[in-house]
Structure 1
Amino acid sequence: MGGDSDNGMDVMNETGAQVPVGIDRMAWYTPNHFLDLDDLARARDVDPDKYRTGIGQRRMAVPTLDQDIVAMGANAAQRLLDGVDTRRIGLLIMATESGIDQSKASALFVQEILGLGHDMRAIEIKEACYGGTAGLQIAADYVRVHPGRTALVIAADIARYGLRSGGEVTQGAGAVAMLVARSPRLMRLEPESVCRSMSVGDFWRPNYATEAMAKGKYSEQVYLRMVDDIWHASKGRGLTREEGLAALLFHIPFTKMGRKGLRSLETQLDPDVYARLTRRFEAAIVYGRDVGNIYTGSLYLSLISLLANDPTLGEGNRIGLFSYGSGAVAELFFGVLQPGFRSVLDAEGDRVLLEGRQRLSLEGYETIFSRSLVTDGSTQVLEQGDPHAPHRLVRLERHERVYR
């Protein structure tokens, strides 16, 4: 993985010049039901401003049973596969902390659903919300070593904490898919980054639990400590280069957390640089504010939101991305926007996806939340939650999942 070592340079072409590797295309998906957090606030006897301002969220996606991580991941990937030579995909990575099986990788289900060839590696990665970045960096290293191939990385999750729990307002669901290739059309990834890992008990979900457990304040402290540590280490190695940094994105379990991360750097930045980063941070949270926490995909949904909602960005702009996963692993890496990057974006499709969702009543949300899949091996046929989604979980039968 591109980390503290100097290995992993961009692959060389026949003339010895470095050929860039990075994100060629991106797409995302979220279920078509949402709960307005004003409704949740009133039901929980909370001031709505606590959610809108104190947490920084407006809405949260609510998945029906037929939209698990496999279905959502396949739906996100489907949006970017038009015109892609899928025979070149040599690596498929699913990053998730909402796994559906202790043994079989969710990537294998996605491979079958999308009709991808068998000439590939298909694996699943887990490290809390950092998993998407782990997948992206591994994919980039794979393409550097296999220049004729591409890699598909999917980050899909359902953030679930429980009705009336402290984390209820920070729930959400969705998936982001990224195609990694040589000479990418969207963003070139710089090969050097800074990583930090340490075992802490800020957030976890035991095998026997269906909902996550967290030490909220402690987790925020670890997050901010990682921001500070990694920023200083990156600056010491000459990687930050603030004057030329167009935007700085953060992992966003809720938008206020990302804002705290940026504010923690205010005294270390030139005022003009900080103002620029703050302005573009606001464009990066437009989508996340209405979708909620999607764990492994949250940072990358921010990137898509930034590119779709800030028309002042241009080719050659350099973007920093801070990735964090509880437990804990963090990484700061950088990418450069490529000529014509807007041609591979689908801002109109994003708008349709968000505006086409159905608003749930509180009762409807609690009903959906309380439904569960059978665990005794009996047959369960699922209702279709999103009539526009091309892929969904159809039924469970003898402990096996059947998708369409």
Structure 2
Amino acid sequence: MKVGIDQIGYFTPNKYVDMVDLAHARNQDPNKFLIGIGQKKMSVADPTQDAVSMGINATLRYIDKIDQSKVGLLIFGTESSVDQSKSGSLFVKSALKLDPAVRAFEVKEACFGLTAGLMIAQDFVRLHPDQTAIVIGSDIARYGINTAGEVTQGAGSVSLLVSSNPRILELNEGHSAYSEDINDFWRPNYSKTAKVDGKYSTQVYLDFFKHTFSDYKRQKGLETKDFAAIAYHLPFTKMGLKANRLAIEGVDEETNARLMDSFTASKELNANVGNIYTGSLYLSLLSLLENGGLKAGDLIGLFSYGSGAMAEFYSANVVEGYENELDKAADEALLDKRRKLSVPEYEKIFSASLVDPQNNVELTSDEKKGRYYFAGICDDIRQYRVK
């Protein structure tokens, strides 16, 4: 039975800071950010956008196109959880008015959370082929103002509908996984910003990629030339470029050119949104699907990485007519209609977002009509409203 990704929706908040402006404010050469890191713009979440509201908005991108009565599972992957006990998926389920019988829970392993949810959803649909599963990755990446990791911040969410006979990608059985208990990146409960050893994390990412990619090819009897494209977890696009260079070492010229071109296609959205943690690989996948000129049957490799650390390599094949399930114009408009912030404006919003809102004080949003937002806390209960 064919199981895979039937719908993809993404969302990012309505504000951004330009990397050239940020570089000038930090007395850096803009090319350090544009080329050395590989980022152009960075989405900024104000206090009214959190992991839950972004997850709702990402799912709303396709919810009216599907049979909602068939949804049997909702998984929320995040490392920006809004509650130590209650799953973000329950807030999403309520906003979408899904059936009470839908299973709903949250998973966490740094940026690996959406992939973990996808694998669970794939198994669920194989056992329940008449049902579908919604899997969401939603996060806000925060390292702090004027820190080494500042340029690799961002905010956004990607939502996937997993079904039998999918219309976008057919997931292949099997995977290569690798994990170790290390400290390359983490965020303690007491901290609003992440702790990271950037150089170490990049090296671990590359080591885990080499291990899982070579092991997957060995398992499946594949060669690098068999892949039409490889999509990577992209906390910043230069990291994925380094992995792609490892992937194409020693290959023929045609394979080299194809995988470099596909990487360029896959990084466009991430370069303009920034780091969205759990959703980063799948934003890269969406960018590849929209810009990569893929054809039916093409084999795509996917590399997922979550610090701490967990990595997995798996693959999927493109479904004929996948283009009909995408809305590139609307995806581009979501970016184009954001408001550019000055660096002082960005710093003010960032600082305000680190402070929990006062109880029983309602927040108002300047998001577009029809979008959900976090409206504050009433009697210690989080409130979500639609604009």
- Give the 5 Å matches for 1:271-350: 271-310=253-292, 312-350=293-331
SS at match of 1:349: helix
Task: Report how far residue 239 of structure 1 moved.
Answer: 4.9
Q: Which one of 215, 227, 232 corresponds to residue 214 of structure 2? A: 232
1:252 corresponds to: 234
Q: Whole-Å Cα distance in 2 between the matches of residues 227 and 103 of structure 1?
A: 33
Matches of 1:239 and 1:139 in 2, distance apart?
26
C-alpha separation between the residues in 1 aligned to 2:342 and 2:224?
A: 45
How many residues of Structure 1 are paired with residues of Structure 2 in the alignment? 385
CA-CA distance at 1:237 after TM superposition: 1.5
After TM superposition, which residue ranges in structure 1, 4 or more long, deviate above 6 angstroms? Answer: none
Paired-residue identity, %? 46
Q: Which amino acid aligns with 1:363?
A: P
- Would you say the 8 A contact 1:374–1:380 is kept in 2? no
354, 379, 384: which one aligns with 1:398: 379
Q: Name the CA shift for 1:316/1:260 in 2 (closer, same or farther; >3 Å).
A: same
Matched, 1:359 2:318: no
Tell me the distance in 1 between the aligned counterparts of 2:183 and 2:278: 18
For the Cα contact (< 8 Å) 1:173–1:293, is it kept in 2?
yes
Letter in 1 for 2:302: L
Aligned equivalents of 1:250, 1:151: Cα separation in 2: 23
- Name structure 1 gaps, 5 residues minimum: 1-18
TM-score of the aligned structures, taking structure 2 as reference length: 0.97
RMSD: 1.3
Question: TM-score, normalising length from structure 1?
Answer: 0.93
Match of 1:204 among 186, 197, 213: 186
Letter in 2 for 1:34: Y
SS at 2:348 equivalent: helix
Contact 1:324 1:330 in 2 (8 A): yes
Change (3 A) 1:256 1:177: same
> Would you say 1:165 and 2:151 are equivalent positions?
no
Aligned match for 1:139, one of 102, 106, 121:
121
Give the corresponding residue for 2:165.
183
Equivalent-residue separation in structure 2 for 1:166 and 1:220 (angstroms): 14
Instruction: Give the deviation of 1:375 after TM superposition.
Output: 4.7
SS of the aligned residue for 2:275 comes to: coil
Q: Which residues of structure 2 form unaligned runs of 5+?
A: none
Counterpart of 2:26?
44
Post-superposition shift, 1:286? 0.6
Instruction: Give the match's secondary structure for 1:103.
Output: coil
- State the Cα distance separating 1:373 from its structure 2 match: 6.9
| Cα pair 1:375 1:399 within 8 Å, conserved | no
The alpha-carbon deviation at position 301 of structure 1 amounts to 0.3
Residue of structure 2 equivalent to 1:370: 351
CA contact (8 A) 2:224 2:248 kept: no
Higher mean alpha-carbon deviation, 319-328 vs 237-246, is at 237-246
